[in-house]
Homo-oligomer: A and B are copies of this chain.
Amino acid sequence: MEEGTSEVPRHSDCTDDACQWDHREDCEVRQILDRIGDKWSMLVIALLDNRCMRFTELRKTIDGISQRMLTVTLRQLERDGLVRRTVHPVVPPRVDYELTPLGVTLHATVQSLVTWTETHQTEIAAARARYDALNPA
C-alpha cells in the first residue's frame, strides 16, 4: 500500500487533456471497469432499467447464466451500491432486485456503449472478415 506516491501517475509524457486517467494496475477506475466489463454485470444492469425483477425472472431472461453466477453478480452489484436487494419474509421466499439511483446513472452510460456497438457491428464484422481474408490461419 504505497500511499506515499500521492501524485496521479498518468504517464509522464502525457499532455493531452483527453488522457484523464492513469493506467496503473491498482487504478480505481480499472477496478470498477473490470466489474462492468465482466461477463454478466452489464446484462443485469441493462435488464433492471426502470424495473424491479425477481431472481428467477432474471435467471430466465438472461440466456445461459447459471444460478451461481447470477447470485455472484447480483451480490457484487449490491456491494457496489448499484443494485438494491429486497427480501420479502414470505413463504416461499421472494427477493426483488432493482437499480439504485447510482445504478440508474450507470445504466445510461452503459446504454450508450451498447448503442455504439449496435450501430457499428456491421462495420466491425466487415473489418474482421477483411482481416481474416488477408491473414490466413
Specify the main secondary structure of chain A where it touches its partner.
Answer: helix
Residues of B within 8 A of A46 (CB): 19, 21, 23
Contact indicator A112/B112 (Cβ below 8 Å) = yes
Interface size class of A (residues with CB under 8 A): 35 or more
- Tally of this chain's copies: 2
Does A132 reach chain B (CB closer than 8 Å)? yes
| Alpha-carbon gap, A117 to B110, bound state (A) | 11
Q: List 30 A-B contacts (CB under 8 A).
A: A16-B50, A18-B49, A18-B50, A19-B47, A19-B49, A20-B115, A21-B114, A23-B47, A23-B61, A23-B62, A24-B63, A25-B63, A29-B117, A30-B43, A32-B117, A32-B124, A33-B37, A33-B114, A33-B117, A36-B113, A37-B37, A79-B132, A80-B124, A82-B124, A82-B127, A102-B123, A105-B120, A106-B116, A109-B113, A109-B116
